[in-house]
Chains A and B, each alone.
Chain A
Amino acid sequence: MRHTPYRWHKPLTPWVFVLPTVVGLLAFKLLPIVSALYFSFTEWSLLGSPLFIKLANYRELVSSEVFVRIVRNTVQFSFVYVIGSMVFGLALAVLINVQTRGIAFFRAAIYLPVVTSAVAVGIVWNWMLGPTYGVINNLIEAMGMTPPYWLADMKLALNTVATVQVWKMSGYYMIIFLAGLQNINADVLDSARVDGANAIQSFFRITVPMMASTLFFVLTITIIDSFKNFELIYAMTKGGPQNASNTLVYDVYLNAFVYYRIGYASAIAYVLFIIVALMTIFNFYVRKHLVEGLD
């Protein structure tokens, strides 16, 4: 029932409606993005006033071993998160795409972590993953194996946090995939079955291609969401051990509000902004040239 709007109103009326939105976008998005760029060229500890130091912050970033590592961590986190969320989200959706009594309960159960605060999620997983008293390590020991240090091991900490984040959010992507699945015409699948295709064949030959636009949509939002890991890192590792789980968003917080290095933190924020902007442009590009062709 969509229709192209025509002008049935006075020319200025729409601006009354969008006025708060425009003010909000200016005050809380555009203005901050521009002034963050200015801050990134300064040195400022909150005491006194900002000192203009040109590109020194960026030079320091580039030459900092820690920063390189944090960028790598950020990419690794995104990678684990995107793959994990896509795979689990889709698997859960396929699994739960049945009509039976009580299915709504299971769907809600899997969705529950989505509406739970990352702080509470971090606390309970910290407790379950802890050495000596943690239920998971006790289970692993009971099976005769030696459990790892999930959060104290430099190789594991980041992946552990990313996995918990996948656990927390996969219900959300499951629902989106579920909507995509339910949009597939059941007749197509039925006729495929009649033609002798087994479940796996029809999944890869029919379901996946027909879900291309959903898959791409989830890919896009998982990439965006993969940067939103501040809360869980704050609750679980605070970036440790030895920066092993420190990411760009956490490092912005650390430098700005723990070390009071406003300028340097702004430079990190800008690097983050540029990465996100590149991702977004890439997304638009792929969407325009690939996905729309598939539909």
Chain B
Amino acid sequence: MKYKTASRLRLLLIAIVSIIYIFPFFWMVSNSFMSDKNIFAVPPRFIGDLLFTDAMFINYKNVFTQFNFGLYTFNSIWVFSLAAIGQLVVCSLAGFALSMMRFRGKNLIFSLLVITLMIPVQVTIIPEYFLFLKLNWLDTYLPLIVPSFLSGAFGTFLLKEFFSQVPRALFDAAIIDGVNAYQMFFRIYLPQSSSPMATLFIIAFMNNWNDLLRPMLYISSRKLYTVTVALSQFQGQYEVRWNLLLAGSVLSVLPLIIVFAFSQRYIIESTMSSGIKG
């Protein structure tokens, strides 16, 4: 009996805590449906006054047409999909070598990758900027895509860990069949790894989507903006009201929430396993 009440209390607590985490999202959405007048109402209204009126989506329409969020969303989707594919390529290759092969320098590469995870991007951003300047890559998507095809610490660790857990019997059988290293990777290991690859794709995609500093520095033409940069510039623009700004925020967050809704099991599982290994 005692156990049950405690559990009810706990459920109540969980509900309260969840509200604290959900409320800002609720507020973002409800305020994005406010008219120019109501957004500055005191005390604040909880439900957007435009909801279920003819002008319901006027803020969203504005953000989409006048401020081009449709284009920016499209930019983000294809650029960061490509970058995420890059991560799959480079991380699976490196993860395979690091987990299954023996060679000198392996530990060094491993340590360098660990250090990569530690260093804030601001330490290396200035020389990186000049590298892209010298390559004449500024104001193209190359600085946002190419590095993703060249090393990724998180993904390498994720896949290295996965590959080392593939049953030994598979490996041994393949060796007996006389496969070489490339066949081993492409035919035996890669087909096994769709689930961690999907996880890595989504995590890489989300991280890039939310990144601000790099796209802000490397992209200057407005038509090439990513959603996150557009939103941050939108914040300081003339003629922007909170209802529009919040509508823009919703639009920038929505694609990720949809992806997350479908993939949360994978994402949360991969977070869990990173802790156990740690």
Contacts and interface: CB of A to CB of B under 8 A. Distances in A.
Interface residues of A, number: 103
Interface stretch (B47-55, B58-66, B190-198, B267-275): B267-275
B103 interface: yes
Contacts of B187: none
Contact of B149 (A20, A31, A96, A265): A20
A39 to B, nearest CB: 6
A23 B118 contact: no
18 contacts: A6-B102, A15-B103, A18-B109, A28-B150, A29-B116, A31-B131, A106-B15, A115-B267, A116-B257, A117-B256, A119-B228, A120-B28, A120-B253, A127-B242, A176-B271, A214-B275, A230-B212, A270-B123
Contacts of B131: 27-28, 31-32
Q: List the 5 closest A-B pairs by CB distance, nearest first.
A: A24-B151, A24-B150, A217-B278, A176-B275, A17-B97
A272 B120 contact: yes
Interface in B111-169: 112-113, 115-131, 147, 149-152, 156, 164-168
A248 B25 CA distance: 30
B179 to A, nearest CB: 10
Contacts of B41: 133
A171 interface: yes
A214 B27 CA distance: 35
Contacts of A235: 232, 235
Interface string A7-19: 1111101110110
A21 B40 contact: no
B44 A133 contact: yes
A127 B31 CA distance: 10
A41 interface: no
Given A115-B257, A117-B228, A180-B276, A36 B127 contact: yes
Contacts of A81: none
A208 interface: no
Interface string A73-108: 000000000000000000010011010100110111
Contacts of B35: none
B147 A24 contact: yes
A91 to B, nearest CB: 9
A152 interface: no
Given A21-B90, A135-B44, A276-B119, A111 B206 contact: no
B209 interface: yes
Contacts of A125: 24
Highest count of chain A CB atoms <10 Å: which of B96, B151, B175, B231: B151
Interface in B231-250: 231-232, 235, 242, 245-246, 249
Per DSSP, chain A at the interface is: helix
Contacts of A98: 7, 10
A67 interface: no
Contacts of B256: 115-117
A33 B13 CA distance: 47
B122 A28 contact: no
> Chain B interface: which size bin?
35 or more
A273 B21 CA distance: 33
A206 interface: no
Given A120-B249, A214-B278, A276-B123, A128 B27 contact: yes
B94 A29 contact: no
Contact of B90 (A24, A36, A121, A214): A24
Interface in A258-295: 262, 265-266, 269-270, 272-273, 276, 279-280
Contacts of A96: 14
A25 B44 contact: no
A115 B260 contact: yes
B18 interface: yes
B180 interface: yes
A178 B14 CA distance: 15
Contact of B231 (A20, A31, A117, A133): A117
Contacts of B103: 7, 11, 14-15
Given A1-B165, A7-B102, A106 B128 contact: no
A170 to B, nearest CB: 9
Contacts of B184: 9
Contacts of B175: 8
Contact of B22 (A11, A24, A109): A109
Given A14-B101, A123-B231, A214-B278, A21 B116 contact: no
Contacts of A118: 210, 212
Interface stretch (A52-60, A143-151, A153-161, A249-257): A249-257
